[in-house]
A and B are shown apart, each in its own frame.
Chain A
Amino acid sequence: MAQMNESCAECHREQTRPFVFEHPAMREGCATCHNPHGSINRMMLTQADNNLCLRCHAQVQGSGASGDFYIGSVDHTVLLQMGTCWSAGCHTAVHGSDVDPRLRY
């Protein structure tokens, strides 16, 4: 796994450098989210939609209307309706951030 990241890091230096706030998924290896052998999706993502993130970021059913989605204790229902988790203004710093623990920049 570390070896896989090392291979990727030879070219993708910015994504594999140290960050103040690291995305812990990086410890599981680049192949957790990217298929290095090729994908139909941009950035060689294994999934093109929010299922990519929700596999690990446990969503819990809210106490309100049926179908509400909470990540932790934050209601993400409307945000998930708008688009991907990595949309502009949301968690764009998917590999890590030096300023924001929520990986928004």
Chain B
Amino acid sequence: MKIVQCHWKNLAALFLFSALSVSAGETNLISSAEKISFDRDVRPIFEESCFRCHGPEKPKSSFRLDDRQAALKGGDNNVDDVVPGHSEQSKLILYVGGLDKETIMPPPDRGKPLTPAQVAVLRAWIDQGAVWGTNSEPALVFAFEPALGWIGVSGDNKKFRELEGIHEGAGGGVKDFSMSEQISSDEKFSVAGHALAPENDYKLTLALDKTDVGFVRGGFEEWRKYYDDTGGFYPGFSPSTFSLDRDLHLDIGRIWIDFGLTQPGDPQLVLGYEYQFRQGAKSTLAWGTVSQGGNSKNIYPNAENISEHTHIFKVDLTHEWNDWALEDHARVEVYHLGESRNDVMAFSTGPTPDVIERVNQSVHYSLGANTFRVENQIKDWWLASAGSLFSRYDGTSFFNQNAVDGSGAPTFGTYWRTEGITLERDSRVVSLANLFLPVKGLSISTAVQCEWTHEEGSGNVDLDFGDPAIPGFFFPFPGTVDANQNRTEFLESFDARYVGLPQTVLFAEGRLRQQSVGQFDEANNGTVDAVQQRTDALNHFYDARVGFTESPRTWIEWGAHVRRRDSTTGYNHLVDNSPFGGDGYPAFIRHRDVAMNEIEGRLVLRPIYWMSARLTYDWDLSDFSTVTDPAGGGVISPGGPIFDGRTESHNAGLTLTFTPVQRFYFSGTFTYDRSRTATTSAASSEVVPYRGDIFTVGSSAGYILNEKTDLNVAYNFSRSAYGQNNSAGIPLGLDFTRHELLVGLTRKLTKNLSGALHYQFSEYSEPSAGNVNNFTAHGIFATLNFRWQ
């Protein structure tokens, strides 16, 4: 398992027990509080492992699992194979869990053993009443899962919060609660959610559904994302790194409500409203300059305060009319963002910074969009669809920036502000897609799309400069900014898949794009940065992939694909004026090309029924090249082709899963990544190649101790070796080692109560940050699961 900087939505899922970064994987056994769906959760297990012998066709021992009445009746040997509400009394669990020494299901020569996670699903399903299908649920179901835990951290607790997504110290709350009531045969009310502190992780969902009439659904959710507060690291300084000493976090959430009409034969209508928010402070990578002994490095950490609010109104309409499927989705979005930050620009002797830039900016806009789609099955072998999108953006942005010293007094620097920049964007998109099935085994899909976008932005700016405290040393530079852009794109895609050969799938796919951009930029402010440019850009892009998958025997499968992408852009600079001596960048770039090649292969082996291995390998190579005009009148550069850089990466992985004995399950994954990006033609003391290796090991194991108790353990290891040693620049590559261990057990205590106890150990060391981010953590967590129906 790779340690990553997760997307915030993924981090939102992190919580105390189930989402410790040690991903327990298969060892995250289903708790009895989690609602089991027969069709979703149980039927796939039965179909894979049971129905072949215990289905309607000549059931072994006269025992059937495809029908509730027959299953509860039992087979030739037992009448207690399935005892609703009592998994510990159900022979089925003893057999599939390997707890009966004489009877093991599935028999070893008939199929692979069920994993502890699958056994846990069956156990929870029986405890919840062993309901077949989805229409015979108990009238009232209630579940409640309180949680309590404690984590101790030695070292950098802020880095711990950022990586693990949780806060040290005591915590807990309600990990999961739910209540559903079948009010009548066609009416159902349900409520569910969780509430956990101190992570501010809350969720509440409410739903009232009436079959073939409509629904009302709504809810609220909020979660917290943490950020470390350290900046860069330069070993030549003392101290070599700095911290803001702030608990940086964003609280992210939303409130929503949807009203739906679902009467058969009528258009299906959904009216909805959603409010989204992000509030708090996060770190940025805009590090400030630290100066010591005549040397300056940008390593001082900075952060920004964010207050973001979005209101979304929506209308969704879908309708089936004869053979036509129609969809229309309308959205109106009203947005406001306020950002403020006090960026340290210069820090020398301390204890306070020498120069701080105070920046306040805000953006508010309204956005309207409508998409329409129609689909028709024209022939048995031909499905066609067409769609359109219209959107309109109207916004205004404000900016105010000034410079102060460590005491807050105005000092020498820039003083930039705007009273309001107008921003507009119009977009139109039309598309046409087809799916053909011309001969047996062959499917071909094609699509074309045309996009047109116009953007405009303009307003007055003040780019003042100097020290307001010194008379005559403050220089106002009022000016204007003005820009517009017209962009036209044509996109074509093609996808073919052939399954006519035995045990083989062949596929080929391609995408093409032709993009034309006409752009005008003007900054008229009386400074050397004043510029007026008009550029036409023409881009051609293609992305092609061909490959196959073959499974000649039941125990082996392999596949591979090759892929090639290329993006080529030509620039025609019609106007390039820099009236006050500026360099007019980037108007000296005439041509740019980015080419990527990829080869990927995989091999899956199942040499014996209780073991599988998956081997993967991926190679990528990307080249970046440019053609420029002469720079500096030809003195700095004569111009012409330049090879900008190359990125090459190798990735290999091995996933091993085995169940050597019925009660035991193990899954392990090992990955190795190696990449190198170099952008200088020769070795440089400022910018050295960005290269290194990443090793990861992810493993989990489960053991069914007895009919009431499961043991599980998970261990993850990550090692990144991207450390740099550039004599003139600063090392920015990441070098770290991380260990995570999670050990626990779950036990059924009574018919309606079960519990879980877990211990977690985490250790992180980061030599590339001077080891200031290192931490060691121990945690212990307990949950109880109540369920009543």
Contact = CB atoms under 8 A, between A and B. Distances in A.
A88 B481 contact: no
A14 B425 contact: no
B729 interface: yes
A16 B531 CA distance: 24
Given A40-B694, A41-B5, A83-B287, A98 B513 contact: no
A54 B644 contact: yes
B395 A17 contact: yes
B289 A73 contact: no
B238 interface: no
A58 B587 CA distance: 12
A88 B288 contact: yes
Nearest 7 CB-CB pairs, A to B? Answer: A83-B298, A38-B4, A20-B457, A87-B298, A60-B637, A54-B679, A72-B585
Q: State the majority secondary structure of interface residues on B.
A: strand
B513 A87 contact: no
Interface string A1-34: 1100000000101100111111010011000000
A18 B393 contact: yes
A3 to B, nearest CB: 9
Contact of B589 (A58, A89, A99): A58
Interface in B435-470: 451, 455, 457-459, 461, 463
Interface residues of B, number: 113
Interface in A73-101: 73-74, 77, 80-84, 86-90, 92, 98-101
B732 A73 contact: no
Q: State the majority secondary structure of interface residues on A.
A: loop
Contact of A82 (B297, B359, B423, B722): B297
Contact of B418 (A67, A80, A98): A98
Interface of B: 2-9, 232, 283-289, 296-300, 302, 308, 310, 335, 337, 339, 343-345, 357, 359, 363, 365, 393, 395, 397, 399, 401, 416, 418, 421, 423-425, 451, 455, 457-459, 461, 463, 481-483, 485, 487, 489, 491, 513, 515, 517, 521, 523, 529, 531, 537, 539, 541, 567, 583-586, 588-589, 592, 594, 624, 626, 628, 631-632, 635-637, 642, 644-645, 647, 677-682, 684-687, 689-690, 694, 720, 722, 724, 728-730, 732-734, 736
Contacts of B401: 105
Interface string A32-65: 0000111111111011111100111111111100
Interface of A: 1-2, 11, 13-14, 17-22, 24, 27-28, 36-44, 46-51, 54-63, 67, 69-74, 77, 80-84, 86-90, 92, 98-102, 105
Contact of B9 (A11, A40, A57): A11
Given A54-B680, A61-B637, A105-B359, A13 B310 contact: yes
Contacts of A58: 589, 626, 628, 642, 644
Contact of B521 (A17, A21, A40, A62): A21
Contacts of A86: 285-286
Contacts of A2: 451, 489, 491
A72 B586 contact: yes
A57 B539 CA distance: 17
A52 to B, nearest CB: 8
B413 to A, nearest CB: 9
Given A18-B393, A80-B729, A43 B5 contact: yes
